A and B are shown apart, each in its own frame.
Chain A
Amino acid sequence: MTELIARSGESELTSPNAATSSQPGWVDPDSNAPLPLRGAVIRRAGFSVRLDGRSALVCAVLAAFTIAVGLWSISVGDFPIPISDVVATILGNPTEDSEFIVGTLRLPRVLVAIGVGAAFGMSGASFQSLVRNPLGSPDIIGFNYGAALGAVLMIVVWDGSALQVSLGAVLGGLAAAVAVYFLAWKRGVQAYRLVLVCIGAGFAVDAVIDYLITRAEITDVQRAAVWLTGSLNGRSWDEVRTVGGALAVRGPVAIVMQRRLDRLELGDDTAAALGIHVGRAKLALVVVGVGLAALGVAAAGPVAFVAFVSAPIARRLTSSPSACIVPAAFVGALVTVVADLAARRLLAPTELPVGIMTAAIGAPYLLWLLTRQARTGAL
């Protein structure tokens, strides 16, 4: 997919942002009067926030859906538990059976799904705005390649525990991101060179992974294959605490960066004219985006397509021209929870990894994007 980014990075014809970027808060050259901003603006000394009514409503509805699906997901399984008991358990009145199944097994899993989905959603939203392309994702900086290598090394060579595998993935991903960024640096970073370097690095990393996979014990290979698909099986409160804590730190940073992102979408020159330090802002956004992706990958592995589909869906639902970091988080959470429910129950009692379901959901989305743009003649 990276080559598509390189391509449309040049033409920008495929970017929905290119078409919509002239809307937010622009001064219409003919009227000399600012267009009315959507939503209410709250101003305090040195601080202002625009609250968009429709975005808030969309987020509320998405949250309600997520909670509903989450509760359903907790209630179904090999040992069904009535929704009323689920709610009672979460509120602190467990029955005998439900305490273990809900409290220890299913609730943490759903919470991790929500956290991971939100992290991937925000990460995708910031990367797609950054490269101004609906196909942008943390892949373009090589993070996922490095994470996969780190995890496979941990599993195959060092036989690591789940925690060590997560750690290996995050370290590998960060190392790859830094390496790709510096290898692509030559008097500034261009998106096109970044994509090319990342393709080269991807080949090299894939070669190492393939080498390890063909020489490992089959049980290790299976473990690696599950990790590489992205799975939420057997997640506990430990992961919930890690994900929740990390999300609480990185989420707000991403949300604060949103305004800079909106300016950057107008193009480097315009953003600079609007008072953004372009180089610094881009680096900060890459760091935040990679940080969020790292959080998701550490908890669940590289779950396909969540980062990719969340932001465009959020944009369409809110019909907002801006980067939609917050709504994308809610969409990501809902998508992941739904996909995990499907992965658990589709071939019950066998549990599939959630990554298979997200890929199966993401592919039709891509086709839909294709036919919709074909109809309007945009492609």
Chain B
Amino acid sequence: MVVLFGVVLFGMLLSLAVGAKSIPWGSVIDAFVGYDETITDHLIVRELRLPRTYLGVIVGASLGAAGALMQGVTRNPLADPGLLGVNAGAAFAVVLGIWLLDTTSVLGLVWFSFIGAAIASVVVYVLGTIGRGGATPVRLALAGAALAAFLFAGTRAVILLDQETLDQFRFWAVGSLAGRGDALAAQILPFVGVGLLLSFSGARQLNTIALGDDAARSLGTKVGLTRVMSVLAITLLCGGAVAVAGPIGFVGRGVPHTARAWFGPDQRWLIPASALAGSALLLFCDTIGRVIARPGEVQVGIMTAAIGGPAFIVLVRRTRMAQL
């Protein structure tokens, strides 16, 4: 865990120093110790790269923690936080926002996607609780898949009817940290913070739920309450991440899955570890994406999937995957 923390710090430094203009380490540190507005390097570090680095840490931590939580709640080591329909809901809301209201700025779309994500996950939860026995994991997943398919159809219909919407949507849909500004991190932090607190506090209960609902009840866990709180936490974390950065693949699914191989199935370790590892992965991928295709940038969502996918296959072949 200490190592992971160090890796995140190193990733932050790297993210501050590396970019279209490479800045020496000394100047990066100077920018904090003796900030001078007249020096361009200091300005770049403080005004451009620092907000982006904060966002990377926040988004990565939310996705990692949300993924660990989702895999714990559904008792499925492969579950993706997007299973609650969060990404599909956000995408549909964003498309509607672009199409109907001609929203063009990244900041304008943030609240569309956050609200879309929240509504979608509430609908999925309600659909999943229909019938006897409340929201079992498989039911939640099926309801999520169904709603996602339905919203997907709506999203596709709009972007195929309107070329301008498609033109904007294609950039939102890959997931990026670029050009977000520093106000955004502060706006989204309360949601993500509450989500992280909820997820850490529910870790012990999730451990008992891993034994099965009946065993968890007999150990004194309120199963229904834990599920509701977890779903709420996932919605806050994942909705916040999608809102600021768009749908970023792999982090939510691959990171907790990999972390389980290192830290074991104990959620009290797994959730914070996944959050840290998610931050680190996102920072490194964002930094690599900035320099790999100079002078352009490759969006972080593409980098995480491009690096994570093959690494995941290697991991699957090498090890017996840890089960929940």
Contact = CB atoms under 8 A, between A and B. Distances in A.
Interface of A: 1-4, 6-8, 13-14, 183, 186, 193, 195-197, 199-208, 210-211, 213-214, 218, 221-222, 225-226, 229, 304-305, 347, 350, 352-353, 355-357, 359-360, 362-364, 366-367, 369-371, 374-375, 377, 379
A153 to B, nearest CB: 15
Nearest to A3: B78
Contact of B132 (A8, A207, A375): A375
A379 B138 CA distance: 7
Contact of B142 (A4, A13, A204, A362): A4
7 contacts: A4-B145, A199-B253, A203-B250, A207-B303, A211-B306, A363-B150, A370-B130
Given A199-B78, A203-B306, 14 more contacts: A6-B76, A6-B78, A8-B138, A200-B313, A203-B254, A204-B310, A205-B309, A221-B170, A222-B163, A226-B160, A352-B157, A359-B149, A366-B146, A371-B130
Given A1-B145, A204-B305, A374-B130, A359 B156 contact: yes
B306 A208 contact: yes
B69 interface: no
A188 B208 CA distance: 35
A200 B316 contact: yes
A347 B249 CA distance: 33
Contacts of B171: 214
Contacts, number: 168
A231 to B, nearest CB: 9
Given A203-B312, A204-B306, A359 B150 contact: yes
B173 interface: yes
A327 to B, nearest CB: 24
A226 B160 CA distance: 7
Nearest to A226: B160
Interface string B104-142: 000000000000000000000001101111001011011
B185 to A, nearest CB: 24
Contacts of B309: 200-207
B163 A370 contact: no
A214 B157 contact: no
Given A203-B254, A359-B153, A3 B76 contact: yes
B244 to A, nearest CB: 18
Contacts of A197: 313, 316-317
Interface string B59-84: 00000000000000000101110010
Contacts of B76: 3-4, 6-7
A3 B83 CA distance: 10
B152 interface: yes
Main secondary structure on A side of the interface with B: helix
Interface stretch (B6-14, B186-194, B294-302): B294-302
Contacts of A374: 130-133, 139
A305 B157 contact: no
B305 to A, nearest CB: 4
A221 B138 contact: no
A225 B305 contact: no
Contacts of B153: 304, 356-357, 359-360, 363
Interface of B: 76, 78-80, 83, 127-128, 130-133, 136, 138-139, 141-143, 145-147, 149-150, 152-154, 156-157, 159-161, 163, 166-167, 170-171, 173-174, 249-250, 253-254, 298-299, 301-303, 305-306, 308-313, 316-317, 321
**Taking each of B128, B150, B157, B317, which has the highest tally of chain A beta carbons within 10 Å of its own beta carbon?**
B157
A241 B157 CA distance: 30
A353 B130 contact: no
A267 to B, nearest CB: 21
B260 to A, nearest CB: 13
B156 A356 contact: yes
A366 B170 contact: no
A210 B173 contact: yes
A349 B72 CA distance: 48
- Which 10 A/B pairs are nearest by Cβ-Cβ distance? A374-B131, A204-B309, A203-B309, A200-B312, A207-B306, A207-B305, A3-B78, A363-B150, A366-B146, A200-B313
Contacts of B143: 367, 370
**Taking each of A210, A213, A222, A350, which has the highest tally of chain B beta carbons within 10 Å of its own beta carbon?**
A210
B161 A350 contact: yes
A195 B78 contact: yes
A7 B130 CA distance: 21
Nearest to B78: A3
Contacts of A367: 127, 142-143, 146
Given A206-B249, A353-B160, A359 B170 contact: no
Contacts of A214: 170-171, 174, 299, 302
Contacts of A350: 161
A362 B145 CA distance: 10
A211 B299 CA distance: 8
A347 B174 CA distance: 29
Contacts of B250: 203
Contacts of A369: 142
B181 to A, nearest CB: 21
